[in-house]
Structure 1
Amino acid sequence: MTRNPTKNTKQKRSDPRELSRFVEELSWLLKTFENIDYDALSSLSHEMEFFFSNSQRLRKRDGVSRNTAILVGILPDFLMDSSLFPTNEGIVEFADAALGLPISRWQKKSKYEIIGQIVCHTNDASPNKVRLLSEVIEEMLDSKTSLRRAIEANRDNGQSWGEVIRHLYNDF
């Protein structure tokens, strides 16, 4: 029984001249790259497969991982800003108010330890808070924005980070 190729399937080529040209091109290619370590090529293939399978898994999540990645990327720089966070207490208050991440025994930790703990536990925060906070912080990183000036003024007037965050979440 012979199969008739439909217009959607391609017929494989088996012309001896074409096959001969293919073998000639393949041998030329192999000679050109004769110093290739084929074991390393196999290893690279496995690494690429691992990378692509993980990146597809991350993309399947509904944007949460992207927002978390953005937030984790900008949080350290933001929290190190001494005009917004002159004390460790302010950082701890911000983490609790903005992300719902209480920091225990923060008085015995350095600023870097506190920030590291916040960054490491950002995945524990609600996806909605992560999304909103990443948008707010991206805008606030520029010290000339009206949002940044308003927050600095509110903090200078004695508003807690809890109050500031509540206003931010309502406005955004």
Structure 2
Amino acid sequence: MKLENKKNKKEFEKSINFLEDLCWLLDSGKNNNYGEMIKIISNIKKGNNLSTQLGQEPDELIGILPRLLTDKSLFDTNSDLAQFSSEVLGIEILNWHKRSRNEMIGVIICKVQESEEIRNGISSYVLNNILQNKEQIKRIQKETENSNNQFLWNDAIHKIVGETSYE
């Protein structure tokens, strides 16, 4: 097991070094400045927090979350809210079926505020994209429901983030 972890770590470091070299190469031949990307990659190699490198303040999430979680067009039921909390935020809400909507939202916000590990796993960029693309998310939810498949938040996020990054 340890041998495989060392191999994976070596492959990860090799990939990061390649990306860093690629950024230097691209930066030298164009007027584009990839210097900031090189700094971020370097900090990732050193184990620094990616959300901090991208300028995401921990309190920024606390401002976005209530706006997102109270949106009944995205989270029609407590079940929807519990699913999002579990799949996207990594927060399991115990006995969610016995709790009020506001209590669930409070639990989520408090857990985000209390845990740096949870905050580091959440991207305000992704949450903002969800808010800005509510109609698209609802369309994906309906399509999934109509095809008798289970709606997965991660799939929907990949679709909206992928489409908005090319605009």
User: Under TM normalisation by the shorter chain, which class is it?
Assistant: 0.5 to 0.7
Measure how far apart 1:141 and its partner are: 2.7
Q: Could you tell me how far apart the structure 2 residues matched to 1:120 and 1:169 are?
A: 26
Kindly indicate whether structure 1 or structure 2 has the higher relative contact order, using CA contacts under 8 Å at least 6 residues apart: 1
Q: TM-score, normalised by structure 1?
A: 0.51
Counterpart of 1:6 in structure 2 is none
Which residues of structure 2 form unaligned runs of 5+? 1-48
Counterpart of 1:88 in structure 2 is 78
Calculate the aligned-residue CA RMSD, in Å.
2.8
Q: TM-score, normalised by structure 2?
A: 0.53
- SS for the counterpart of 2:74 is coil
Counterpart of 2:154 in structure 1 is 165
Among 102, 112, 126, which residue is 1:112 paired with? 102
Among 55, 58, 62, which residue is 1:68 paired with? 58
Among 122, 125, 128, which residue is 1:130 paired with? 122
C-alpha distance 114-67 of structure 1, shift in aligned 2 (>3 A): same
Q: Could you tell me how far apart the structure 2 residues matched to 1:111 and 1:79 are?
A: 9
Q: Could you tell me how far apart the structure 2 residues matched to 1:126 and 1:169 are?
A: 20
- SS for the counterpart of 1:125 is helix
- SS for the counterpart of 1:86 is coil
Letter in 2 for 1:148: K
The answer to whether the Cα contact below 8 Å between 2:130 and 2:157 also exists between their aligned partners in 1 is no
C-alpha distance 125-149 of structure 1, shift in aligned 2 (>3 A): same
Q: Which consecutive aligned stretches of 4+ in structure 1 deviate over 6 angstroms post-superposition?
A: none
Query: Do residues 155 (structure 1) and 141 (structure 2) align?
Result: yes
C-alpha distance 100-140 of structure 1, shift in aligned 2 (>3 A): closer
Measure how far apart 1:92 and its partner are: 0.6
Measure how far apart 1:107 and its partner are: 1.3
C-alpha distance 67-94 of structure 1, shift in aligned 2 (>3 A): farther
Q: Could you tell me how far apart the structure 2 residues matched to 1:164 and 1:148 are?
A: 12
Which residues of structure 1 form unaligned runs of 5+? 1-60
The answer to whether the Cα contact below 8 Å between 1:79 and 1:91 also exists between their aligned partners in 2 is yes
- SS for the counterpart of 1:130 is coil
- SS for the counterpart of 2:104 is helix
Measure how far apart 1:167 and its partner are: 4.4
The answer to whether the Cα contact below 8 Å between 1:68 and 1:130 also exists between their aligned partners in 2 is no
- Fraction of identical pairs, as percent: 27
Structure with bigger gyration radius: 1
